[in-house]
Amino acid sequence: MTQMTVNDAIGRALAEEMRRDSRVIMFGEGVATKRQDLLKEFGAERIRNTPLAEGVIAGTAVGAAAMGLRPVIDMLFAPFLCYAMDEIVNSAGKLRYVSGGQFSFPMVVMAMTGGGWGVGAQHNHNLEAWFAHAPGLKVVMPSTADDFRGLLKSSIRDDNPVMFFTDMTLGYTPGEVSEADGAIPLGQAAIRRAGKDLTIVSYSKAVHACVAAAQQLEGMNVAAEVIDLRTIKPLDEATLLASVRKTGRLLVVTEASGLCGVAAEVAALAAEKAFGALKAPVARLTGPDAPTPSSHALEQAYLPTAEGIAAAAKKLVSAGG
Amino acid sequence: MTTNDAELLEAMMLTRAFEEQNRALQAAGKAPGTCASVGQEAAAVGVIKALGKDDLILTNHRSAGHLLARGAEPGRVLAEIMGRSSGYCKGKSGSLHISAKELGVVLTSTIVGGELSMAPGVALALSMQKSRAIVACVFGDGAACEGSFHESLNLAAVWNLPILYVCENNQWQAYVHRRETMLTEKIAARAAAYGIKGITVDGNDVQAVHAAAREAAAEVRATKKPILLETYTYRTWGHYEPDDQSYVDSKELTEWRERDPIEYLKGRLLARREIETREIEAIETRVKQRIADALAFASESPFPSAAELATDVYA
Ligand SMILES: Cc1ncc(C[n+]2csc(CCOP(=O)(O)OP(=O)(O)O)c2C)c(N)n1
């Protein structure tokens, strides 16, 4: 185990995968400038700067993937994905299907989301649900340095297009990273904390607030089980449902807004498949249906906090039988 | 690659007969409508027949001529249009996004401009593989008004990608005439803005298109730099069948129909005694038979089973 930040863990995963497979290439607005170490080791053919043209950056990845390369593109901030929706949703997500399986699209689209940086609405938007709703795409959103490395490695090795979201503030969070190959399969949630009284499900930065809330709850004699989804699609139904069946109570926490979001999906899943085990209605704690404000005070109000999560959990535990 | 005039003529006649068959099937309710390439056969055949067998193709929704000129089996294209499992994409594409890996057809894009956004990636892969092959990316004048046109040409120019951009300027953008959406007459002029070569050729003269495309393809192959080739032509049928073309200026339509690319080549070859009427009749007979066989093959092919609904989504 080595201690490193999430950003360094991402860099390490990229270098390891590029070393392992000569088909892996990376391009984007400034990647060759910002990842000098990769440029030095792998050369200008495999690490490229691009013009400011998100649509064709994504389209080029799709074309390269169709030809057997394994492109990783850095789209910078998630809202810029709006310029590349056609290429990601209509091409990357659909062309395997409409070609009857003739072509595959092994590519990774990286982007940053998450509040805490004061960059405002046009640089911060949690868009994971949009892509989870589109067929043919996978969606990964880790919370720890080791997961970032391990899940990025699996995303690069996956033969499908993968959306890989990094919460901006997590980038500078250090954590233990394993020495071994360390690839972590997509579609496996992690149980961050075991407990019997309720299940708290989350992903990305909000997981840390959930773990902090669970610590507070412990002092109130409530044992919360915290599940980190790690990948939104494929969704680890088995871990999720097993936990709900054990605890009988579910609180879903996301930074993204609620309507038609990941929390709604998780709640529906529990209602559909574990209804008999539920002792109380499923609760959701999500961001508001509002663009992200820039003002630090408002931005903090946007984010789920440990106190808010603990309060919601407490209420849930006192409700029902 | 050179193709003789009789081959060019036969490929154009096959495309025309295929489109006529499609229209009849659509009218009879046996197949969905399609975007026909009638009037543009010379542009399609002249360019595609100029490519090498390893070259790759990305095209748009009006792709029958490109597919057939590339050697696609009419029966499998028709089966795809009719939603049968023997089609090139197992019936999951329909007419609008046919791809055929075995023929090097990576994409038929129904998103106007989708082919433009993907082309640099396909060409990048060829260039990293040190391949001699090039990418032909065919699109319309409507696509040339999309942002992806600019992004694609600019990136391909900056990255030295071997792409032959082929704009089939057929004067129409669905139901909007090109004159309403652009102030310039020729798309090729835009090439200068990206620092690459732009050429316009008479898209109704298959020999001229073929010669220009051969030369351009050779230059792209040698220099690894993109070229923009514009085939100036006209869509003489509607946008999507059925279409009564009531919105079309009849004088303009008549003028272009008088320049029908198939009749034009026939007339020229006959006048110069480079072909005999007998040979043309023999081609006609062959083409008819191929279309009849195609129809029989497609009609007898099964529909995909409902179990296929959610296969091929993920690898
Ligand atoms: C992004 C997008 N916008 C609009 C359409 C609807 N549409 C289909 S074909 C077409 C016309 C395209 O014109 P052009 O590129 O000149 O090709 P042509 O049909 O003339 O061959 C339009 C507007 C579409 N398919 N995709």
Is residue A319 very low, low, confident or very high in pLDDT (cuts 50, 70, 90)?
confident
The Å distance, Cα B173 to ligand 1 centre, comes to: 6
What chain A residue is nearest to B99 in terms of C-alpha separation? A99
Q: What local confidence, expressed as pLDDT, does residue B3 receive?
A: 81
Most B CBs within 10 Å: which of A21, A102, A105, as the mutation test of the B interface? Answer: A102
Closest approach atom of ligand 1 to CA B139: 15
- Going by the DSSP 8-state scheme, the letter that residue A137 receives in this structure is -
ipTM value: 0.95
Backbone angles phi, psi at B282, to 5 degrees: -65, -40
Three-state secondary structure string covering chain B? CCCCHHHHHHHHHHHHHHHHHHHHHHHCCCCCCCCCCCCCHHHHHHHHCCCCCCCEEEEECCCHHHHHHCCCCHHHHHHHHCCCCCCCCCCCCCCCCCCEHHHCEEEEECCCCHHHHHHHHHHHHHHHCCCCCCEEEEEECCHHHCHHHHHHHHHHHHCCCCEEEEEEECCEECCEEHHHCCCCCCCHHHHHHHCCEEEEEECCCHHHHHHHHHHHHHHHHHHCCCEEEEEECCCCCCCCCCCCCCCCCHHHHHHHHCCCHHHHHHHHHHHCCCCCHHHHHHHHHHHHHHHHHHHHHHHHCCCCCHHHCCCCCCC
Residue to test with chain B: of A67, A80, A104, A162, most B Cβ within 10 A: A67
pLDDT in tens, A149-186: 999 999 999 999 999 999 999 999 999 999 899 999 99
Q: Is B99 in Cβ contact with A103 (below 8 Å)?
A: yes
Report the chain B residue with the minimal C-alpha distance to residue A70.
Answer: B125
**pLDDT number for residue A171:** 95
What is the share, in percent, of chain B residues with pLDDT greater than 70? 99
Alpha carbon of A73: minimum distance to chain B alpha carbons (Å): 12
Helix (H, G, I), strand (E, B) or coil at A163: strand
Of residues A113, A42, A61, the one with CA closest to residue A261: A113
Which of A304, A306, A303 lies closest to A115, judged by CA?
A: A303
* pLDDT for residue A241 is more than 60: yes
Beta carbons of A105 and A273 less than 8 angstroms apart: no
Taking CB atoms and an 8 Å limit, are B117 and A56 in contact across chains? yes
> Which residues of A are known to be catalytic?
54, 123
Which atom number of ligand 1 is nearest to the Cα of residue A86? 1
Instruction: Using the predicted structure, report yes or no on whether residue A18 has a pLDDT greater than 70.
Output: yes
Q: What average pLDDT does range B9-37 have in this prediction?
A: 97
CA distances from B160 to A7, A26, A68 (A): 32, 17, 20
Q: What is the pLDDT of residue A321?
A: 54
Give the position, in ligand 1's atom list, of the atom nearest the Cα of B37. 21
Residues of chain B contacting A63 with CB distance shorter than 8 Å: 58, 106, 117-125
Supply the residue whose CA is at minimum distance from atom 25 of ligand 1.
Answer: B111
- Which residue reads 């090729």 in tokens? B188
Q: Distance between CA atoms of A225 and A147, rounded to whole angstroms? A: 19
A124 within 8 A of A168, measured Cβ to Cβ: yes
- Note the pLDDT tens digit of each residue in B156-209: 999 999 999 999 999 999 999 999 999 999 999 999 999 999 999 999 999 999
pLDDT at B135 over 90: yes
What is the pLDDT, as a whole number, of residue B2? 64
A interface toward B at CB cutoff 8 Å? 25, 45, 48, 50-51, 53, 55-56, 58-69, 71, 86-87, 90-91, 95-104, 106, 135-136, 158-160
Nearest-Cα distance to chain A for B110, in Å, is: 10
Contacts of A163 in chain B (CB under 8 A): none
pLDDT in tens, B147-171: 999 999 999 999 999 999 999 999 9
Residues of chain B above pLDDT 90, percent: 99
Strands B163-169 and B227-232: parallel
